[in-house]
Each structure stands twice: as C-alpha cells, then as structure tokens.
Amino acid sequence: MHFYTKNVHFPNKENAHEVSKTKPIYQTSAFSFTDFDDMENYFDGDKAYLYTRMGNPNSDDLGKGVAELEGAEMGVASAAGLSAILAGVLAVAKTGDHILATQDLYGGTWSMFSNDLKDFGIEVSFIDMEDRGAIESAIKENTVMLYSESITNPLLRVEDIEGLAKIASANKLYLMIDNTFATPYLIRPHEVGADIVAHSATKYIGGHSDVTAGVVSGSKELMTKAKGKVSMLGSNIGPFDAWLSVRGLKTLSVRMAKQCENAEALAKALNSQPGIAKVYYPKAASQTGNGAVVTIELEEDVDIMEFSKNLGWIKVVPTLAGLETSVTYPVATSHRPLPEETREKLGVTKQMIRISVGIEDERDIIDTFSEALVRTKAPSL
C-alpha cells in the first residue's frame, strides 16, 4: 500500500471475532484467565497479555502503527518521547559504553544524555555531526552508538542520515535517530540505514496536543530489549493515551501535508519582513515537504517579550505540533537545560522564536505574524 493508505489501515485484522470498526480501549490494568494453568500460557508464549505494564492491545497498536509507517520490524510505545529515547539507548548501551551525539539536540535529550545516562555509567560526547572527520576522530573502543535528529531542534538542520549510517556500519556502531520533527511522512530513517528511530508521539504522531506518548522502532531483537526496559522501568503508556495516539496517527498524512504547506509559505513571507534577522527553515528535507516548524531570530531592537504579547490568537506554549499554530521560546523552554555558553555556541539566541505551524489558512497565519511585528515597538519598524 502507498503511504496515505497505510497510514489509515493499520494494524491488519488479526482476530475474526472482533467486530468493532475501531479498536476498543482496553482500559484495564490486568487480563483475566480461566485458571492458573491458563495464566501459565502467557509465560509459555501462548497468551499475548498479562499485565498492562508489560503490554496492552492499545499500546501495541501504537507501536505497530508507527513501525509500519517507518518500515521497521517492531515498534514499542511508551509514556513520553524521552522514555522512548531512553528505552532505545538502553537496548544497546550499558555501563562502560560511550555514545556520540550531535551537539544541536533537543534540550531534554541533551540533559538526559549529560546527566542521567552518567548515572547509568554511560558516557556521551557531543560533536558536530556535519564534520565527518570529527566523528571518526571521536569514536572510541567503547563507542556503541551515533545519535542525531532527522531535523534538528530548533535550528532545523537536516541530518545526513545515510552518511551517518555508513560511518556507523563501517565502525560496527548502532545509529539512532529522533524523527519527531520530520515524522515518517517526510523522512524514514530506517530506509537509509538507521537501526533505531524514536518519536515524541506527543507531537505530530498524536497530533492534537491532548496526550503524551513516545514510540521507538527497530529490529525485533532490539525492540524486544527496548520493550523490556519500558516494562521494568515502568514507563509504559496507558491504554487511553495509546488509543488517542493511534486515532491521531491515522490523520498524520493529511495534517502534515497542510502544515508543511503552511510552514513553507510562512517561511517565505517572513524572509522579507522588517524586524526579522534570520529565518530558519529546511530545504530539500524530502520530496513530500520540509516540515511544519519555522524558527525565526528577531533583530536586536525588536522587544521579543512585547512581540509575544502581540500574537493574538496564536498560542504561546512550551512545546510544538498540534493542529493550531503556536510559538515557543527555546532559551526558556526546550533548550533551558543547556548552559548559556553552549546555547550561544550553537546559535540558540535570546531573540529566537520557534514557530509550530498549524492547519489554519496560511493567509491568517502570515497576517498575524506581520501584524505582531508592526504592533511591536521597535525603532526599525
């Protein structure tokens, strides 16, 4: 099936006795058995479910749905994007191992890699993933993984995943990619060599800003390990959140098509707006679009706090995605954990705003940002 069809029709029918057009919500903490012998069948592999922390039809549907679109053997759902990332990392890395990660990471991932993985005895080095020589030089005997994002947050650099996959393969390393910003609608990292792909399904997978969720996908061998980590760390997703995420996932194609179209129009319009020093928007990210996020840097004489008050119906939030256009302030939210000198080195400035473009009429989005710039008190305007 083609992507749009596959996006709607998952998973395939499995049980002939199921008559509901949509998957029911299995809102239960545990599953019942006829007797103790029947319960033992779970441990023998003849029964699928025992206790929701260890698996549930709704969480399995979410994992299967994302894995199907990503082109992976298996997917595992979890309670949030960071728990999905952690499960993917721990499926590969252990105490004494080393990971090389791109320096332009989402702040939450940066914080987890800098602090929490250290408690597991896992070392992480941050490098410029565009510098192939730097990558090769930084690989150690105990390096097990290269880690990056398909479209980086918030500077929107499009990663050369295929190039990283070649380096990883040549050095017998795993390659893990956070595909949250791109989604499989734009980029499918497994198809060009990534071993593990993670999503904050809270964002475009769920798509409606009403759930927190994560998904990690890969080979059956690696994802079986990841599922074990999700279960034993208690980071499983609840049945209702999983059901909501699956419902959202089925409209991913139509949402992303409109949001990418709107984002491209907004980026083009803002490039010629007075008061804006720079517009960040991916070029040639994929044949189906360049993403739904636009990052702008306001000129120094534009009061960014005043600008945020002049955005009218556009929501100010600490996150991204969802159907409505919204903005966030990276230095105070997504990249707050990074030291100021690190942010400055990366180019994440105090005049930077990340725009998550929604499905509204593009003319209204463009007009609202233009009017906000005009209303903001700035000498250059």
Rounded CA separation 61/139 (Å) = 37
In angstroms, the Cα distances linking 120 to 16, 126, 347, 373 are 45, 18, 30, 47
343 given a catalytic annotation = no
Question: Tokens standing for 278?
Answer: 């720079």
Residue 161 near residue 180, CB atoms below 8 Å: no
Catalytic residue among 203, 225, 229, 343: 203
| Exposed/middle/buried for residue 101 (C-beta within 10 Å: 0-12, 13-18, 19+) | buried
Question: Tokens standing for 159?
Answer: 């990663």
Catalytic residue among 106, 147, 280, 281: 106
Rounded CA separation 253/186 (Å) = 9
- Calculate the dihedral angle through the C-alpha atoms of 121, 127, 129, 130, rounding to the nearest 10 degrees: -170
Rounded CA separation 19/304 (Å) = 54
157 given a catalytic annotation = no
Residue 282 near residue 160, CB atoms below 8 Å: no
Helices 57-70 + 239-249 axis angle, to 10: 30
53 given a catalytic annotation = yes
Question: Tokens standing for 119?
Answer: 């408690």
Catalytic residue among 6, 47, 53, 132: 53
Question: Tokens standing for 328?
Answer: 């966030």
375 given a catalytic annotation = no
Catalytic residue among 61, 178, 195, 241: 178
Active-site positions read: 53, 106, 178, 203
